[in-house]
Amino acid sequence: MSSIIQIKDFTWRYISADKPAVKNINLTIDEGKFVGVIGQNGAGKTSLAYAIDGLIPGQYHGVKEGEVNVLGTEVEQFHKGMLQQVVGMVFADPEAQFTAMTVEDELVFGMENLGMSIPEIKERLEWVCTLTDMTPLLAKPPYEISGGQKQRVALAAVLAMTPRVMILDEPTSMLDPYSRKRVFDVLGKLKHENKMTVIVIEHSLENLIPLADEMILMSHGELIRHQETHEFFQDIDFLLTNGVYPPETPLFFHELRKRGYYKGPIPVTNEEAIKVFPCKTGG
Ligand SMILES: Nc1ncnc2c1ncn2[C@@H]1O[C@H](COP(=O)(O)OP(=O)(O)O)[C@@H](O)[C@H]1O
Ligand SMILES: [Mg+2]
């Protein structure tokens, strides 16, 4: 599998800050992976996302060291607007992204901007509407729908442009649990289609873990762990000392293991946990 993002010795300090927001980041992400990024507030997650999307140093002033490469090209070398065709971003507050009077226009707008033909736009619109369950909302004004629906519109609008990398920065932090689940359902379908590289910054581990191939932990501007998801949750003590509160299932097996009741690897999801128990007998 080839890598799509390569970050080398990357450090960034905002001009007004006295210490770097992210420092000494070395990171490779392979194309097609679903990557979860976690860490406490202020850990540098958003800054890292901005660096991949070129907002840093494009929109922010500061001092950059090292390299951030997307598709083998340093982000600063991309022609204006080209990087954003490769990397799509969805933020916590979807409203900031809206410009059109209807949901449909909102979805079509980005594609028109990319100069797509009408048949192509129609095809993608259909694909994205199925994926995000958007058809009933198409005629509505984006500012009149619920928060969860807004977030799905924002997601759909970025998806419609089919970027090769999609970064979502706390996409469900403003949503109730049901709407949160619906956004993750869309991400689940996206993972199933297996076309895009998806990077999700998210606090809701229950939703994130079943989808994530890999997890990244940021702390005080540093990338302190990057592992395949199952492996990432084996060292629960490390996570707890670094401000991560794992979901109940791995935590429970961690406790069992500490007390000598369990010796195997820690199951990370409920599905994995169920497999730990011997097969049902009889009927
Ligand atoms: N525009 C900015 N100017 C100065 N400092 C900033 C700016 N944005 C973020 N920071 C600082 O950079 C550090 C990392 O922030 P951020 O990347 O937003 O972390 P996270 O997304 O993990 O909460 C924090 O100390 C934050 O205060
Ligand atoms: Mg953030």
- Whole-prediction pTM value? 0.94
What confidence category does residue 1 fall into, taking pLDDT thresholds of 50, 70 and 90? Answer: low
Ligand 2 centroid, distance to 33 Cα (angstroms)? 21
pLDDT for 194? 74
Query: What percentage of the chain reaches a pLDDT higher than 90?
Result: 77
Ligand 1 centroid, distance to 14 Cα (angstroms)? 8
What are 109-128's pLDDT values in tens digits? 989 988 899 999 999 999 99
Q: Is the CB of 59 under 6 A from ligand 1?
A: no
Helix (H) or strand (E) holding 176: none
What are 211-253's pLDDT values in tens digits? 999 999 999 999 999 999 999 999 999 999 999 999 999 999 9
CA–CA separation, 24 vs 223, rounded Å? 8
What are 149-186's pLDDT values in tens digits? 998 999 999 999 989 999 999 999 888 899 899 899 99
Ordered by where they begin, the domains of the chain are: 34-64+78-230 (3.40.50.300)
| DSSP states along 228-270 | EHHHHTT-HHHHHHTT----HHHHHHHHHHHTTS--SPPP-SH
Token pair of 250 as six digits: 């791995």
The rounded mean pLDDT for the chain is: 93
Ligand 2 centroid, distance to 100 Cα (angstroms)? 26
> Could you tell which of 23, 38, 46, 169 is best to mutate to test the pocket of ligand 1, judged by most ligand atoms within 8 Å of the CB?
46
Ligand 1 centroid, distance to 178 Cα (angstroms)? 29
> Could you tell which of 13, 14, 56 is best to mutate to test the pocket of ligand 1, judged by most ligand atoms within 8 Å of the CB?
14
Helix, strand or coil, per DSSP, at residue 66: strand
Q: Is the CB of 47 under 6 A from ligand 1?
A: yes
What are 30-79's pLDDT values in tens digits? 999 999 999 999 999 999 999 999 999 989 999 999 999 999 999 999 99
Rounded average pLDDT over 68-96: 92
CA–CA separation, 189 vs 128, rounded Å? 11
pLDDT for 256? 95
Higher pLDDT, 282 or 13: 13
What one-letter code names the amino acid at 233? F
